[in-house]
Copies of this chain bind each other. A is one copy, B any other.
Amino acid sequence: MSKFEVNILGCGSALPTSRHYPSSQVLNVKDKLFMIDAGEGAQQQFRRMGLKFNLLQHIFISHLHGDHCFGLPGLLSSLSMLGRTGELVIHAYGELENIIRPILDYFCRDMDYQVRINPISPRKNELIYEDRSVQVFTIPLKHGIPTCGFLFEEKKRDAHIIRDLIDFYQVPVKEIAKIKAGSDFVTPDGEIVPNNRLTTPAAEPKKYAYCSDTGYSEKIIPIIEGVDLLFHEATFMQEDLAKAKETFHSSAGQAAEIARKASVKKLLIGHYSARYEDIAPLLKEAQNVFPDTVAAYEGMCISV
């Protein structure tokens, strides 16, 4: 099965602690790496997790709060020192251009690669990136400033041909691509061999949704419905709901409520407030509502 896994570089919130780094994740899709948010220390965690800098393709920034992007200058400088060439695309609210460009101009004068900001509209749900194997859509979130989550959706893959039967029916090579894509096969005698006799279906395309930072918002449900894995922030406990509302964050219970209503397969919580020394109660609160919940931790690698 092809790789589709989430690496947790940091799952703390605004105030870093000795237990947690600020937000950063790396999605590995068939050894192509997509970074989601880049809090301070992201480059060091990236290295600690044994990820390869040359496989990093795109960076997606949910919003311009420091705990989601202060790791960019260090990461981009290090990529330069490591001799990167070509282009690196950062998908983010366009304002990032005005913030990051002066830093790059001052600190990375001799860069051999280009940083391109793809300005996204956090208030829309739209396709912002695609390649042969994955599509990425924005998910508008409810936060104090323009913020979006990201839905990573694998493309439907071709069916696998059954070699023995292909040989048996003497299917010409030029027909094979069509059969993989779903066509039936017609023999020279006019016999129709149905596609499902010649192929086994490909695995269902995987879907990963990243939703942080956000207050409770049912508007995201149609977008994330049925995803294999939902990362939803769970900054607070239910008992601190007033604080959550005030700061446009969610409680663990609310994250689970969204997961339940969207019928996702699994929920991953994180973005823990520094006030909680132990996150077990947050996990328990979520599991009471949505049993298939796991708690993110630094160094975690979870297969979607």
Which A residues lie at the B interface, using CB under 8 A? Answer: 14-18, 21-22, 40-41, 43-44, 47-48, 64-67, 70-71, 73-74, 77-78, 81-82, 95, 98-99, 102-103, 106-108
Q: Are A18 and B47 touching (Cβ within 8 A)?
A: yes
With A65-B107, A70-B74, A74-B66 as known contacts, state yes or no: A82 contacts B15, CB within 8 Å. Answer: yes
With A66-B107, A102-B102 as known contacts, state yes or no: A74 contacts B44, CB within 8 Å. Answer: no
With A102-B99, A107-B66 as known contacts, state yes or no: A78 contacts B44, CB within 8 Å. Answer: no
Residues of B within 8 A of A48 (CB): 18
For residue A78, give the distance in angstroms from its CB to the closest CB of chain B: 6
For residue A297, give the distance in angstroms from its CB to the closest CB of chain B: 16
Partner pick for A43 among B16, B71, B73, B78, CB 8 A cutoff: B16
The distance in angstroms between the C-alpha atoms of A108 and B14, with both chains bound, is: 12
For residue A246, give the distance in angstroms from its CB to the closest CB of chain B: 14
Q: Are B70 and A66 touching (Cβ within 8 A)?
A: no
With A65-B107, A66-B107, A107-B65 as known contacts, state yes or no: A81 contacts B41, CB within 8 Å. Answer: no
Q: Are B47 and A17 touching (Cβ within 8 A)?
A: yes
The distance in angstroms between the C-alpha atoms of A48 and B48, with both chains bound, is: 18
Partner pick for A71 among B18, B40, B65, CB 8 A cutoff: B40
Residues of B within 8 A of A78 (CB): 14-16
Pairs across A and B, CB under 8 Å, 29 listed: A14-B77, A14-B78, A14-B81, A15-B78, A16-B43, A16-B74, A16-B78, A17-B47, A18-B44, A18-B47, A18-B48, A21-B44, A22-B74, A40-B41, A40-B44, A40-B71, A40-B73, A40-B74, A41-B41, A64-B106, A64-B107, A65-B107, A66-B74, A66-B107, A67-B77, A70-B74, A70-B77, A98-B102, A99-B106
For residue A254, give the distance in angstroms from its CB to the closest CB of chain B: 23
Among residues of B, the one whose C-beta sits closest to the C-beta of A44 is B16
Residues of B within 8 A of A67 (CB): 74, 77
The distance in angstroms between the C-alpha atoms of A48 and B19, with both chains bound, is: 9
The distance in angstroms between the C-alpha atoms of A95 and B106, with both chains bound, is: 10
> A16-B44, A66-B73 known; 12 other A-B pairs, CB under 8 Å?
A14-B77, A15-B81, A15-B82, A16-B47, A16-B78, A17-B47, A18-B44, A40-B43, A41-B41, A66-B107, A70-B77, A99-B103
